[in-house]
């Protein structure tokens, strides 16, 4: 049977190809790809390309470099023209160029994204590492959840306490407002004892005015003598137990005239008073800075 | 003109057997040979490299039974010989068109390929990247992330990271990029056909 030899078809022997293999340098590969070699050399390189894997790889790598140089605008004008003559000639080649460009652009955009979001990447890495270490992740998550729940409970408790405090103050101030709303005639001293207080600014040095609490007396009256010449439409008194946050404000008080001069009458329910030292600040409603200060003590 | 290969499955099996008795190795050789023929047709400015590659395989398939018993040497060279004949035919045809019509007819350029838009290409690229393994995807994106001098430094660092030489990395990237490119072309063609039928 007649044997068909490969060199019968493609001309040139494989031995010759082997001999010429070494001569396909990177430079020659590039010249071949730019269409700078003659027909004979072209066919020789093509034969090597299709039959010798190493030459095949070498030429493909040279082509990759050439395409990258083109896309990065690194070719000389002359090489660029030759390149486009080869790779811009057919629609299929143009498409491959566009794809290569897309791959580079996409990769560059991804790299920029990674660089501009290092914090996100760090968080992702951190979370990923936590996910990988579930043994660590579970207790940390449990502690975090518990902390959040405790904080929430504390906040709710705090708000409830504040709301209670506000409600209590509102009730007291309403009670004080009602008690002091009706000046009129003096109360019966056996039922509502009056405590006459001089302003600290004019009071002579002497013992502190003292009030004894008694279970049968529900209300005490403070007569705050005033030395002020100006008379205002209404006054307010703030009663504070020294050393605590307890304080009550009574507004809309009226100046009265008595045998000892001008005074402001302030009535206080006895249940609001505890043993201790009290301070009263009296001022006109319209001018809180023009105040006078009084004090007294409460005991059993 | 685009054409579809008409190789009967039996002949195709014979081609594979001729390339290598081991079917897996033969399949890899077939794919490499196919890519090489497409390149050779493109370098010779043939308008439809894929179609001419199909034609090459068709012509070889018609005589493969005879060739298996008679041909000596690397089968790839026989394919190259057939491809050379086709290139000659193609060039003659192009010249005759020029002389008759007096117009520049470079080749059969399927318009659909030039009509694809950037968004469509990027979508296909994304899909094809998803088909790669994570390692390959990360590698190719890192490989093509930079340009010029930073690119050279980056690739050297990348090669060091994965413990290979720069040459090995280049070869690996060349293969991944080739398969990615084929995937994108395949998807773009599929979309173009779908759009044409809609």
Q: What's the rounded mean pLDDT across residues A251-260?
A: 84
Q: What's the rounded mean pLDDT across residues B40-51?
A: 90
How high is the pLDDT of residue B33?
A: 96
HSE-CB of A91 using CA atoms within 13 angstroms: 19
Mean predicted lDDT score pLDDT of chain B = 85
Residue B85 neighbours by CB under 8 Å, 6+ apart: none
CATH class of A194-299: mainly beta
Dist CA A147 CA B174 (whole Å): 54
pLDDT band at A122 (very low <50, low <70, confident <90, very high): low
Contacts of B177 in chain A (CB under 8 A): 64, 100, 103
Inter-chain touch B70–A106, beta carbons under 8 Å: no
Say which DSSP state A181 is in.
S
A255: enclosing H helix or E strand: strand A255-258
- The least confident of A20-24, A154-158, B50-54, B187-191 is A20-24
* Burial call A283-296: b when 16+ CB within 10 Å, e when fewer: bbeeeeeebbebbb
Residue A86 pLDDT > 60, yes or no?
yes
SS3 (DSSP) at A64:
helix
In this predicted complex, what is the ipTM? 0.85
Inter-chain touch A95–B122, beta carbons under 8 Å: no
DSSP string across B91-135: HHHHHHHHHHH-S-------HHHHH--HHHHHHHHHHHHHHS-HH
How many residues are there in chain B? 198
Query: Any idea where the domains of chain B sit in the sequence?
Result: 9-96, 109-197
Residue the block writes with tokens 């439409």: A233
- The tokens for B134 are 């994570």
Dist CA B59 CA B82 (whole Å): 8
How many DSSP H helices and E strands does chain B contain? 9, 1
For CA atoms A90, A91, A95, A96, give the dihedral sign.
Answer: negative
Predicted structure pTM score: 0.57
- The tokens for A159 are 């708000």
**Which one of B37, B141, B148 has the shortest CB-CB distance to A107?**
B141
Using alpha carbons, list the distances in angstroms from residue B132 to A42, A241, B119. Answer: 35, 79, 20
- The least confident of A144-158, A177-191, B22-36, B129-143 is A177-191
Check if the beta carbon of residue A30 is closer than 8 Å to that of residue A37: no
Residue A16 neighbours by CB under 8 Å, 6+ apart: none
Nearest to A64 by CA among A37, A108, A30, A28: A30
Residues 23-62 of A with CB under 8 A from B: 33, 43, 46-47, 49-51, 53, 56-57, 60-61
Distance from CA of B29 to the nearest CA of A (A): 10
Q: What's the rounded mean pLDDT across residues B156-178?
A: 93
- The tokens for B15 are 């081609």
Mean predicted lDDT score pLDDT of chain A = 81
- The least confident of A109-118, A272-281, B43-52 is A109-118
Q: What is the pLDDT of residues A214-250, one digit of tens each?
A: 777 888 888 888 877 778 888 889 888 888 777 888 8
Check if the beta carbon of residue B43 is closer than 8 Å to that of residue A85: no
Check if the beta carbon of residue B86 is closer than 8 Å to that of residue B52: yes
- The least confident of A79-88, A103-112, A177-186, A249-258 is A177-186
Residues 165-184 of A with CB under 8 A from B: none
Inter-chain touch B122–A102, beta carbons under 8 Å: yes
Dist CA A55 CA B139 (whole Å): 25
Check if the beta carbon of residue B188 is closer than 8 Å to that of residue B114: no
Residue B112 pLDDT > 60, yes or no?
no
Query: Any idea where the domains of chain A sit in the sequence?
Result: 2-87, 194-299
Check if the beta carbon of residue A64 is closer than 8 Å to that of residue B82: no
Nearest to B169 by CA among B184, B151, B183, B185: B151
Inter-chain touch B181–A99, beta carbons under 8 Å: yes
Q: What's the rounded mean pLDDT across residues B178-185?
A: 91
Q: Does A230 touch chain B (CB under 8 A)?
A: no
How high is the pLDDT of residue A11?
A: 42
Residue A187 pLDDT > 80, yes or no?
no
Residue the block writes with tokens 């010989």: B81
Q: Does B157 touch chain A (CB under 8 A)?
A: no
Q: Which bin fits A261, alpha (ψ -120 to 50), beta or left (φ > 0)?
A: left
Phi and psi angles of residue A176, each rounded to the nearest 5 degrees, phi first: -65, -40
* Burial call B168-183: b when 16+ CB within 10 Å, e when fewer: ebbbbbeebbebbbbb
CATH of B109-197, one of 1.10.10, 1.20.120, 1.25.40, 3.60.21: 1.10.10
Residue A300 pLDDT > 50, yes or no?
yes
Check if the beta carbon of residue A107 is closer than 8 Å to that of residue B144: yes
Check if the beta carbon of residue A141 is closer than 8 Å to that of residue A149: no
Q: What's the rounded mean pLDDT across residues B76-101?
A: 82
**Which one of B39, B148, B171 has the shortest CB-CB distance to A61?**
B171
Nearest to A101 by CA among B121, B124, B156: B121
């Amino acid at each position: 049977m007649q044997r068909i030899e490969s060199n019968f078809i493609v001309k040139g022997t494989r031995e010759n190809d082997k001999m010429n293999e070494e001569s396909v340098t990177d430079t020659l590969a590039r010249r071949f790809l730019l269409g700078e070699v003659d027909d004979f050399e072209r066919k020789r390189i093509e034969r090597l390309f299709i039959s010798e894997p190493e030459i095949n790889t070498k030429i493909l790598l040279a082509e990759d470099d050439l395409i990258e140089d083109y896309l990065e605008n690194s070719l000389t004008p002359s090489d660029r023209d030759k390149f486009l003559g080869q790779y811009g000639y057919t629609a299929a080649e143009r498409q491959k160029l566009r794809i290569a460009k897309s791959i580079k652009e996409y990769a560059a955009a991804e790299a920029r994204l990674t660089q501009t979001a290092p914090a996100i990447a760090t968080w992702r890495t951190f979370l990923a590492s936590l996910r990988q270490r579930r043994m660590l992740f579970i207790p940390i998550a449990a502690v975090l959840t518990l902390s959040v729940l405790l904080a929430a409970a504390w906040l709710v408790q705090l708000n409830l306490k504040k709301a209670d405090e506000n409600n209590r103050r509102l009730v007291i101030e309403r009670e004080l407002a009602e008690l002091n709303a009706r000046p009129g005639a003096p109360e019966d001293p056996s039922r509502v004892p009056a405590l006459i207080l001089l302003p600290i600014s004019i009071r002579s040095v002497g013992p502190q005015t003292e009030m004894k609490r008694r279970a049968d007396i529900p209300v005490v009256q403070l007569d705050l003598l005033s030395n002020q010449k100006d008379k205002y439409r209404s006054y307010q008194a703030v009663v504070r137990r020294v050393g605590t946050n307890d304080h009550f404000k009574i507004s809309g008080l009226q100046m009265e005239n008595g045998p000892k001069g001008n005074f402001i009458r302030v009535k206080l329910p006895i249940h609001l008073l505890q043993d201790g030292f009290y301070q009263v600040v009296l001022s006109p409603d319209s001018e809180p800075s023009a105040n006078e200060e009084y004090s007294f003590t409460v005991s059993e | 003109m685009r054409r579809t290969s008409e190789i009967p499955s039996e002949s195709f099996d014979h081609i594979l057997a001729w390339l290598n008795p081991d079917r897996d190795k033969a399949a890899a050789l077939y794919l490499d040979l196919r890519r090489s023929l497409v390149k050779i047709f493109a370098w010779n400015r043939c308008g439809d490299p894929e179609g001419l590659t199909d034609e090459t395989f068709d012509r070889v398939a018609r005589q493969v039974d005879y060739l298996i018993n008679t041909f000596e040497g690397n089968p790839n060279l026989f394919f190259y010989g057939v491809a050379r004949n086709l290139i000659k035919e193609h060039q003659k045809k192009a010249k005759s068109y020029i002389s008759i019509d007096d117009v520049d007819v470079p080749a059969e350029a399927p318009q659909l390929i030039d009509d694809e838009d950037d968004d469509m290409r990027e979508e296909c690229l994304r899909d094809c990247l998803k088909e790669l393994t994570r390692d390959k995807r990360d590698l190719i994106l890192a490989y093509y992330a930079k340009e010029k001098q930073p690119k050279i430094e980056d690739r050297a660092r990348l090669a060091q990271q994965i413990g290979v030489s720069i040459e090995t990395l280049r070869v690996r990237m060349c293969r991944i990029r080739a398969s990615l490119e084929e995937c994108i072309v395949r998807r773009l063609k599929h979309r173009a056909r779908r759009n044409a039928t809609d």
